[in-house]
Amino acid sequence: MKFQYSVIAASILALSTSGAALAQEKTLRLLTWADYAPADIVAQFEKESGYKVEVTLSNNEEMISKLRATGGAGFDLAQPSQDRITGPQQEFGIYKPMDLSKLKSELFIPSMLDATKVNTTLTGKVYGLPHIWGTDGLVVNTKLTKMTDYTDVCRGDVKGKVSFRLKRPTLIAFAFAAGKDPFALYNDTKAYTALMEDVGKTLTACKANAKFIWDNKDQLFNGMRTNEVVGAIMWDTGGWKLNGENPDIKFIAPKSGALGWIDTFAIPAKGRNDAAAYAWINFNMRPEIAAKVAGSAGNFTASKGADQLMDAKLKAQFAESFPEAAIKAIRWYPTVPAGLEAIEGRILDRVKAAN
């Protein structure tokens, strides 16, 4: 009888284990940004593919932290920016190489696909593919003030009426506005540290100018809507959203160059469902799907032909913010070398602690 019970128990355990494994195989655990996985798109993918999607919202710093803590486990697909892939991969080994044979490459804008592959390649292997792209610059209430470059938020006439965040893009922005090229110093730790020290001093002095240091978009949007904030360093889609509510508020590409970023698709090192990950990538790059996701995010995508299906208002706003000269002046983020963000982190901690 004991043997019979043991056989039954073993059978139940085996069924339970196989059921759990099957559930894992039919689930895509997605680590992504807000608005990149709208509910209607998730529902359509689930219906077409048979996979269930579990969405976790995050940002670059949190993505790296989560994947580093688990050695690349817990998610099947992540969406870090292209400059945050090879550095963390070199340091922590949190991603696995992309299998390009599973990619429908004809769905991508060729130049953007090729550039992102170059920027996410480490020891001959590609770790990231392009998805959503956009820029950071200035959002200004043009009825109340004029601004042309990042450090205009430090002017005395707008004291207590501006906002920015204490993150690495602000350090980079201030460096370019000072006439320096921080990207050119990425591989010179000593020179880069010296530049960031100088930028940190400027940012510390400018800190008192801010109505508040923003850390979420609702806070920032409300400040702009109520005219408490007349100018801010922020992203293009935020500016275009506010412009839709108030035509006096505009996204302006700074004269030293807007900061361009590309958010990617990357597969964590210990992801359990690569098949679902590639299915999601190929699904999202279909022009009609990409246009809907772009509408949700408010940005443009690397999907070939999606721009023709996008909202006419957004295309008009983009054209106003980015005349040809401004497009050519975009400062695209290169790959961040390992250890660079630690330098920036120390500077930012000092700025945050300063009175």
* Token pair 């870090």: residue: 80
Q: Provide the residue-wise pLDDT of the chain in tens; the chain has 355 residues.
A: 544 555 555 445 444 444 444 455 799 999 999 999 999 999 999 999 999 999 999 999 899 999 999 999 999 999 999 999 999 999 999 999 999 999 999 999 998 899 899 999 999 999 999 999 999 999 999 999 999 999 999 999 999 999 999 999 999 999 999 999 999 999 999 999 999 999 999 999 999 999 999 988 899 999 999 999 999 999 999 999 999 999 999 999 999 999 999 999 999 999 999 999 999 999 999 999 999 999 999 888 999 999 889 888 888 998 899 988 998 899 999 888 888 989 999 999 999 999 7
Distance CA(141)–CA(143), nearest Å, equals: 5
- The domain defined by 2-133+262-322 carries CATH number 3.40.190.10: yes
Q: Which CATH architecture has domain 136-260+326-353?
A: 3-Layer(aba) Sandwich (3.40)
CA 142 – CA 105 distance, rounded (Å): 42
CA distances for 104 relative to 80, 129, 179, 282, 313, angstroms: 20, 11, 41, 6, 30
| Residue-range domain boundaries for the chain | 2-133+262-322, 136-260+326-353
Helix segments in the chain, DSSP class H: 2-25, 39-49, 60-70, 86-92, 110-119, 168-177, 189-207, 217-225, 236-245, 274-284, 287-297, 312-321, 324-328, 340-353
CA distance 121 to 83: 11
Whether 136-260+326-353 and 2-133+262-322 are alike in CATH topology: the answer is yes
